Amino acid sequence: MNTKLLGSALIISGTALGAGMLAIPMVLAQFGLVYGTLLMALIWFGTTYSALLLLEATIKSDGGLSLNSIARRALGKGGQAVTNLLLYALLICLLMAYILGAADILSQMLEEVGLFVTPIQSQTIFTLLTGAVVACGTNVVDKLNRLLFFVMIMSLVATLLALFPTLSLQHLASIQSDDISGLVKTSTVLFTSFGFMVVIPSLVSYNQEATDKQLRNMVVLGSTIPLLCYLCWLLAVVGNLPNDEIKQFNNVSELMASFERGAPWISSILSLFTGLALLTSFFGVAMSLFHQNSDALKQNRGVTYIFTFILPLMGAILAADKFLSVLAYAGIILVFLAVFIPAAMVYTLRTAAAFPERYTVGGGSIMLFFTLIFGAFLLVPQLPDLIPGF
């Protein structure tokens, strides 16, 4: 795998490693380490397969900078309209969550050097500055993301090395809830934690010289790195903090404050890691929305920049202290966009003789059916919240 493809795999990993890193201990701790690990592995497998379906659809429709173009070629105008609606809703929700989390960390960092800003000010500063980086293009995001990802992984390793020696077997074995339906209901938050699929069209366009096999390996590697990081992080947090304390956390600063009581330097490294995780996720998702708007609006970078970042910023300002709620809504949207839509695209493309016979994900019709079951598994537990009286 060449440097460009490796950088693209890291963009996938960086997009996934964001708000989910913070949310996973909060939603899984009460169910115990074993159940949480098994559910996360299932979500990873279903997510990766769905991502490969989207890769197949992207390749067979001759690539494309965004899902807008791919949906038009694979599903027609009606499918294009539905896909665009879902994509905009998803990307805006994800960016809102990342802005909320990153702005919280930015405020803390500024306070440490004697600068005090309001939440709105920190959200605005973060969005405008990082948005300017995204507007510079995929090549800039790729190179910056490689550096940030390296520092992020090193800070995670340092944190884990500090926390693993203090793991408590009592905490690891603790299970406060055996409610299986409650465990399954957390699936959408976990699914959102692997929500990197939106960057695939941009990366296929960025790696036009790559073979289909190389693109497949890029997706698999990019999705596996977050799984390993999430599992290590879940082990470290659950093994060091009581479950009843973890499930009460509402934001990033509360989680880090718990570690600060034992060792302040761990909190500093953890702040660096979580900040970089949110930043790399923001870059990946914002890049997808920027390319979507560029493809749909056909305007210059300045106009596209404004349309890309104004709505997420306004949403974050209005959704203060709704970090987990925003992630849950994003997860529900992501089920349709990243599971059902790619399955429909692939089914249409495989039965249409007009499209080239190129990369095809293994498993045939059986795995397409599994994908639909996987989507239902994620969606059905959320219906009582979506439909009153269900």
Query: SS3 sequence, 21-62?
Result: HHHHHHHHHHHCHHHHHHHHHHHHHHHHHHHHHHHHHHHHCC
The string of DSSP letters for 196-265 reads: -GGGHHHHHHHTTTS-HHHHHHHHHHHHHHHHHHHHHHHHHHHHHS-HHHHTT--SHHHHHHHHHTT-HH
Give me the pLDDT at residue 390, please: 47
The residue range of the domain holding 76 is 3-386
Most confident of 47-51, 73-77, 152-156: 47-51
Q: Which residue has the higher pLDDT, 177 or 192?
A: 192
Q: Which residue has the higher pLDDT, 264 or 39?
A: 39
CB 202 within 8 A of CB 66: yes
pLDDT above 90 (res 229): no
In 3-state terms the chain splits into helix, strand, coil percentages (rounded to 5) of: 80, 0, 20
Instruction: Give me the chain's average pLDDT, please.
Output: 80
Give me the pLDDT at residue 59, please: 87
| 291 three-state secondary structure | helix
CATH number for the domain that contains residue 176: 1.20.1740.10
Give me the pLDDT at residue 371, please: 92
Please tell me the total count of domains within the chain.
Answer: 1
Q: pLDDT digits over 123-175, tens only?
A: 888 888 888 888 888 788 888 888 888 888 888 888 888 778 877 777 666 66
pLDDT above 70 (res 67): yes
| CA distance linking residue 26 with residue 14, whole number of Å | 20
| Angle (deg, nearest 10), helices 67-112 and 341-351 | 150
Least confident of 251-260, 311-320, 344-353, 376-385: 251-260
